[in-house]
Amino acid sequence: MKKWYLLFLFIPTIIVAQSYRIITEQQVMNDFLNKEVEELEFQSPIILSNSILFFYRGPAKTVSLLGSFNQWQKEYPMEQSRSNLWVLRYQERLPSGAYQYRLKIDGFLIADPMNPNYELGSGNQKLSIFNLTNEFISNKKYPFWVSNNTYLFRYQNTAANVVTIAGDFNNWNPFSHQMSYKGAGYFEIELELDPKKIYLYSFIMDGVWHFDPNNKKQYRNSQDRPISGFYADQDASIP
Residue-wise DSSP of the chain: ------S------EEEETTEEEE-SSS--GGGTT--GGG----S-EEESS-EEEEEES--S-EEEEEGGGTT---EEPEEEETTEEEEEE-S-B-SEEEEEEEEETTEEE--TT---EEE-GGG-EEEEEEESS-B-TT--SSEEEETTEEEEEEE-TT-S-EEEEETTTTT-TTS-BPEEEETTEEEEEEE--SS-EEEEEEEETTEEE--TT---EEE-TT--EEEEEE--TGGG--
Q: Please report the pLDDT score of residue 237 as a whole number.
A: 57
Q: Please report the pLDDT score of residue 18 as a whole number.
A: 39
For Cα atoms 191, 194, 200, give the angle at the middle one, nearest 5 degrees.
70
- The reply to whether 14-132 and 144-237 are identical in fold is yes
- How far is the C-alpha of 152 from the C-alpha of 142, rounded, in Å? 7
Q: Please report the pLDDT score of residue 192 as a whole number.
A: 93
Q: Whole-model pTM?
A: 0.56
Q: Please report the pLDDT score of residue 136 as a whole number.
A: 86
Residue ranges covered by each domain of the chain: 14-132, 144-237
Q: Please report the pLDDT score of residue 40 as a whole number.
A: 55
- How far is the C-alpha of 179 from the C-alpha of 186, rounded, in Å? 9
Q: Which of 182, 175, 134, 132 lies closest to 154 in space, CA to CA?
A: 182
User: Which class does domain 14-132 fall in?
Assistant: mainly beta
- How far is the C-alpha of 109 from the C-alpha of 120, rounded, in Å? 14
Fold entry, domain 144-237: Immunoglobulin-like (2.60.40)
Tens of pLDDT, residue by residue, the chain (239 residues): 433 333 333 333 333 333 444 444 334 344 554 455 455 567 889 888 778 889 998 999 999 999 999 889 899 999 987 778 898 989 888 888 999 999 999 999 999 999 999 999 888 899 999 999 888 877 777 888 888 889 999 999 999 999 999 999 999 999 999 999 988 899 999 999 998 899 999 999 999 999 998 888 898 988 889 999 988 886 655 44
Are 114 and 103 in contact by the 8 Å Cβ rule? The answer is no
The alpha carbon dihedral of 225, 209, 230, 92 has a sign of positive
